Amino acid sequence: MATQDMRIAIITPEFPPYTNWGGIATFTKNLATLLSTMKHEVHIITYDGSGVVQKTLKSNGLTIHYVSYKTSSKFFNICYYRIFGLVRVLINKFSPGLLAIIDWNIFSFLAFRQINKKYHFNILHSTTYHMPFLLISLIFKKIPLVLHAQGPNDYFYQILDTSSIIINRLKTKFEGWHMRTYAKKIVACSMNVRDRLLAKYPKLSGRVIYIPNFVDYQQFKNVVTLNKKNIVFFGRLEHRKGADILVNVFVKLAKTRPNIKLYLIGERTSFFDNFWDLSKITPKIKNRIIFYPKIDDKNSLIELLKTLKGIAVFPSRYEPFGFVVAEAMALGFVVIASNKGGGKEIIHNTTDGYLITPSEKILTHTLVHCEKLTKTALNQISHNATDAIRATYSFKGIWGQISSLENSVL
């Protein structure tokens, strides 16, 4: 079978625009777009964030199937939502994330069973995150499965949430079992993730491969002049992303630098709001911290970022890949990113950006260093950044690796 003849399904609860929750949604959209560009017939099986919508639509060469969280069987719906309603309430109270996993797996399986009768897929793609594929794997074993590791999740859980440690450990065990049992290929989004997977599951060495995440470089072309007085962060404003580190550093620098501004673009979490309320920031400095709410539409976000082109800072305490790093570099920002995770694979330190240990002292030093650079030096780093993304982390740079992957699993 020629690769152009393949019919591919991507099973994911996260897909823009309804469920554009972060890196998983970005990855699945980019993967779907690239596979479609490669002349595959690509179907997305996803939902609208609540399970209300059931429809199929075509958009930019993709066929998107939205899964409803109800079936045509009234008996099934009554059993699921009323008879087992108390069980659902208890699960939701104990672990809302676990209930979301259960709901998605049941209703995505029921939807896929009908969709596959019509289309007969050759390859299935999904991510390891939040186990979106358990029931489908059990029943449709003959269709090759490619799992994309965007974690590893056990490391995420250590950083994100210690309140549900038992549930998180159970999730990790299920994900590991599912990956080892059903995946024909496991694609690590960074060498950091690949190494963590192989250290934990050495027997997977023949199935784990490394293909970095990638961006649609054509979306990011930008000729706006760089303004080093603009400091920009985009992503979730949370502890893992190091948003508190950045704000603290900016407040210190802003006391003696009246022209610098900080732009924070993304979802404000309870962590950040609590941190923000406790911060002793004068109104004069606070007025130079500009918030933008989370922007789900990628084109709108890119247009905003183009106007703010300056120094992008991502001091994450852990980042498995770092789409924001690649996207900011593609736009020509001078990027300062954490060396804890995938960022250290994207940036060549001092050549096309800066790698730092996520600490206030080191970030302060690096921002002051950038402040002292000449316009020529900053523009050279900016040009090097765009060249690096185009060569390695774009559709063109990744095309051959994805093509080889598709051929290898058939």
Residue 276 has pLDDT above 90, yes or no: no
Same domain, 131 and 225: no
Per-residue pLDDT reduced to its tens digit, 57-77: 999 899 999 999 999 999 999
Burial of 227 per CB tally in 10 Å (0-12, 13-18, 19+):
middle
Same domain, 105 and 232: no
Residue with tokens 């709901």: 103
CATH of the domain at 326: 3.40.50.2000
Same domain, 254 and 194: no
What is the value of pTM for the model shown? 0.90
Strand-strand pairing, 311-314 and 289-292: unpaired
Mean of the per-residue pLDDT values for the chain?
90
Give the integer Cα–Cα distance in Å for 69 and 7.
25
Residue 311 has pLDDT above 60, yes or no: yes
Give the integer Cα–Cα distance in Å for 7 and 117.
13
Q: What is the pLDDT of residue 165?
A: 67
Structural domain total, the chain? 2
Range of the domain at 186: 3-214+395-409
133 — pLDDT class (breaks 50, 70, 90): confident
The answer to whether the beta carbons of residues 218 and 204 sit under 8 Å apart is: no
Residue 372 has pLDDT above 50, yes or no: yes
If one compares 159 and 97, the residue with the highest pLDDT of the two is 97
What is the side-by-side order of every strand in the sheet holding 208-210? Answer: 55-59, 62-66, 41-46, 7-11, 123-127, 145-149, 185-188, 208-210
Residue 162 has pLDDT above 90, yes or no: no
If one compares 9 and 281, the residue with the highest pLDDT of the two is 9
Percent of the chain with pLDDT over 90: 70
Phi and psi torsions of 345, nearest 5°: -90, -25
Q: What is the pLDDT of residue 297?
A: 87
Same domain, 259 and 369: yes
Same domain, 400 and 388: no
Average pLDDT over residues 360-378: 97
Same domain, 177 and 310: no
**Closest to 35 (Cα-Cα) out of 409, 410, 405, 408:** 405
Give the integer Cα–Cα distance in Å for 391 and 393.
6
Q: What is the pLDDT of residue 2?
A: 47
What letters, b where the CB count within 10 A reaches 16 and e where it falls short, cover 132-149? Answer: bbbbbbeebeebbbbbbb
Residue 278 has pLDDT above 50, yes or no: yes
Residue 350 has pLDDT above 90, yes or no: yes
Q: Which two tokens stand for residue 51?
A: 């399970």
Residue with tokens 């950040």: 272
Average pLDDT over residues 365-369: 98
386 — pLDDT class (breaks 50, 70, 90): very high
Same domain, 188 and 50: yes
If one compares 294 and 153, the residue with the highest pLDDT of the two is 294
Q: What is the pLDDT of residue 1?
A: 44
Same domain, 254 and 119: no
Residue 128 has pLDDT above 90, yes or no: no
Give the integer Cα–Cα distance in Å for 73 and 16.
29
Q: What is the pLDDT of residue 85?
A: 86
Residue 152 has pLDDT above 80, yes or no: no
Same domain, 150 and 267: no
Same domain, 101 and 233: no
CA distances from 325 to 39, 250, 360, 379 (A): 29, 19, 19, 17
Per-residue pLDDT reduced to its tens digit, 82-124: 888 888 888 888 777 788 888 999 999 999 999 999 999 999 9
In sequence order, the β-bridge partners of residue 209 are: 187
Per-residue pLDDT reduced to its tens digit, 164-181: 666 777 777 888 888 899
Burial of 206 per CB tally in 10 Å (0-12, 13-18, 19+):
exposed
* Angle at the Cα of 129 from the Cα atoms of 124 and 132, rounded to 5 degrees: 50
279 — pLDDT class (breaks 50, 70, 90): low
Same domain, 242 and 313: yes
Same domain, 221 and 78: no
Per-residue pLDDT reduced to its tens digit, 182-220: 999 999 999 988 998 999 899 999 999 999 999 999 999
